[in-house]
């Protein structure tokens, strides 16, 4: 079957854009898992692929190269953010360059518009949820940690302000709400995300939010302001019955 043209894709689904979203691929150097078939499949099922971080397992340049090779099987645009695992080996610039060279719209505090949808991407950070969030008090190390969490929320806000499209998908690695990390041990909730992200999101009108990171969390939730949130980590059971979620934006 001939590949659908960009115009056809835009017209499909009553003018809505079909987004396939998956996170936590954790590509490893031994290349035991190939995502080629999965990328081929999403190219037939969706208009755009969104990857929500932890693209590599240990943040090694070779892992990013293997992912870039697999992404050749993907014939639709790819939007991504990085995750904490992508930082592990201190090679984040190299990883980002490899993915951008492969044509990935890698977002780190920016927005990009594709098919009339604004994609806003930031990794996010830890810190916890609601009134139990870690506060900026005490040792400089704690204050630095909270400052990083606040900084990621501010970068998300700046990126949101760049959006001109009427529909917006927010792409994160860390969770903005506790509902979608439910299923993980409660002791690690504060390391899975931060409500500061949800507070920022709720200052804007967004179509949906996707994130990963909480491999044992729950698929669906919403921010206090009512924005739909989906945990699309590949380990999470989804309505598609596949590792990726399909969202109409």
Among 54, 65, 70, 184, binds Fe ion (CB under 5 A): 54
Token pair 């719209």: residue: 105
Residue 9 sits in the site that holds Fe ion (CB under 5 A)? no
Q: Please, what is the minimum distance in Å from the beta carbon of residue 57 to Fe ion?
A: 9
Q: Which of 53, 118 has the CB closer to Fe ion?
A: 53
Q: Which of 48, 233 has the CB closer to Fe ion?
A: 233
In degrees and rounded to multiples of 5, residue 158 shows phi and psi of -60, -40
**How many residues make up the chain in this entry?**
249
The site string for Fe ion over 68-97 (x = CB under 5 A, - otherwise) reads ---------------xx-------------
Q: Please, what is the minimum distance in Å from the beta carbon of residue 211 to Fe ion?
A: 10
Q: Which of 54, 65 has the CB closer to Fe ion?
A: 54
Q: Which of 47, 54 has the CB closer to Fe ion?
A: 54
Total residues interacting with Fe ion, rule: CB under 5 A: 5
Coil/strand/helix, residue 58:
coil
**Those residues with Cβ within 8 angstroms of residue 1's Cβ, 6 or more apart along the chain or in another chain:** none
Contact 232, 210 (CB under 8 A): yes
Q: Which of 81, 165 has the CB closer to Fe ion?
A: 81
Q: Please, what is the minimum distance in Å from the beta carbon of residue 122 to Fe ion?
A: 14
Cα separation of 138 and 142, whole Å? Answer: 7
20-39: contacts with Fe ion (CB under 5 A): 24
Residue 65 sits in the site that holds Fe ion (CB under 5 A)? no
Residue 184 sits in the site that holds Fe ion (CB under 5 A)? no
The strands making up 117-121's β-sheet, listed across from edge to edge, are 110-114, 117-121, 167-171, 208-211, 228-231, 220-222
Cα separation of 147 and 169, whole Å? Answer: 25
């Amino acid at each position: 079957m001939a590949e659908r043209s960009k115009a056809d894709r835009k017209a499909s689904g009553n003018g809505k854009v079909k987004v396939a979203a998956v996170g936590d691929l954790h590509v490893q150097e031994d290349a035991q898992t190939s995502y080629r078939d999965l990328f081929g499949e999403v190219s037939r099922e969706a208009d755009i692929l969104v990857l929500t971080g932890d693209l590599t397992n240990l943040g090694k340049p070779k892992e990013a190269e293997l992912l870039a090779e697999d992404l050749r099987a993907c014939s639709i645009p790819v939007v991504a953010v990085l995750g904490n695992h992508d930082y592990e080996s201190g090679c984040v610039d190299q990883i980002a360059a490899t993915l951008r060279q492969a044509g990935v719209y890698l977002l780190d505090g920016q927005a990009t518009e594709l098919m009339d949808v604004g994609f806003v991407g930031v990794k996010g950070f830890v810190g916890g949820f609601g009134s139990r969030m870690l506060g900026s008090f005490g040792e400089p190390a704690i204050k630095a940690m909270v400052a990083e969490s606040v900084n990621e929320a501010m970068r998300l806000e700046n990126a949101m302000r760049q959006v001109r499209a009427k529909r917006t998908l927010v792409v994160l690695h860390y969770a903005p709400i506790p509902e979608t990390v439910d299923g993980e041990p409660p002791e690690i909730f504060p390391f899975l995300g931060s409500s500061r992200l949800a507070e920022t999101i709720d200052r804007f009108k967004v179509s949906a939010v996707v994130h990963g990171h909480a491999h044992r969390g729950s698929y669906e939730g919403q921010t206090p302001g009512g924005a739909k949130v989906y945990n699309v980590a590949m380990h999470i059971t989804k309505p598609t019955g596949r590792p990726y979620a399909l969202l109409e934006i």
